[in-house]
Structure 1
Amino acid sequence: MASNIPKFRFLTAAQVRRLHGTLIANAQPTQPALLESAVQSPLNIKYYNNEQNLFQLAASLPEKIMKNHAYQDGNKRTALVAADMFLKINGYKLQETPLQTGNVSQDLENAHVAVCTNAWTAEELGRFYEQSAKAIEEWTPEILAYRNEATEY
């Protein structure tokens, strides 16, 4: 019997550490358990809350990364690139190039700061993602590698 519940790909803590190391700084999390907790958040929300909206799941990841503060520095940037990769491995993108300058990047940065300062909820961030994200037209080798390593659920 086929299930109508969509399956999504979820990043692993190792993948988020790799994104941080590649795009932010060559540093390990000072609180690895808090990073693991943050990375598990979208999976838990899908399972326990039966959340089927990809963008709401995506928004829970950066919220937890920023608030858990697993890294000494770069948590907001890590949260942004992790959310973007989470959406990319599921067929959407927030930005062409991670951490680019420009309106989209500035709006994303502002949205993340709003969540960090409790001006926005993760749900509001999810709605922002849904309005901002674009379908991926070309699957790059990097996105495919992350997609293939991700957890499917």
Structure 2
Amino acid sequence: MTYLTLDEVLAVHEKMLLIGGGREGVHDFTLLHSAIERPKASFAGKSLYPTIWLKAAALIHSLIKNHPFEDGNKRTAYFSTMRFLRNNGYEVVASSKEVVNFAVRIDIKNLKLTEIARWFKSHSKNL
């Protein structure tokens, strides 16, 4: 399993701001680090997120809900998670409208990780 680094997520964030605009800056590095590390979490030697879909769900959920950046949190969260999945052999296939609705639902509707994981699984294909 290949996980994202802080530098990779920061690069995605920078690109999102260049494309879509917004205020630069990290609001809270502790929350950013926590979000990036969450997919790796384990207890008593067992992964808390044993599938790639749950790991992707944990990543996007934490990046959106932690709001570590001054702006562009949902965009950065989604595209960072797409990069994570691509690095591990999957590609997300969804329209721009589906992506926006999905990210907003995670933020506002407090989707469960299993619901988020199910969305990624149903909208992904092997590379």
In the superposition, the TM-score normalised over structure 1's length comes to: 0.72
Trace 1:3-152 onto structure 2 (pairs within 5 A). 8-25=1-18, 27-44=24-41, 47-48=42-43, 50=47, 51-95=49-93, 104-136=95-127
SS in 2 for 1:10: coil
Q: CA RMSD in A?
A: 1.7
Q: Secondary structure at the match of 1:70?
A: coil
Q: How many residues are matched?
A: 120
In structure 2, what is the Cα distance between the partners aligned to 1:59 and 1:93?
15
Which string of whole-angstrom CA distances, capped at 9 and with x for unpartnered residues, describes residues 63-121 of structure 1? 001111011111000110011001000000114xxxxxxx6222122122111113421
SS at 1:93 equivalent: strand
Structure showing greater radius of gyration is 1
Q: How far apart, CA to CA, are the structure 1 residues paired with 2:68 and 2:91?
A: 24
CA contact (8 A) 2:16 2:72 kept: no
Any stretches of 5+ residues in structure 1 without a counterpart? 1-7, 96-102, 137-153
4+ residue runs of structure 1 moved beyond 6 angstroms? none
TM-score normalized with structure 2 length: 0.85
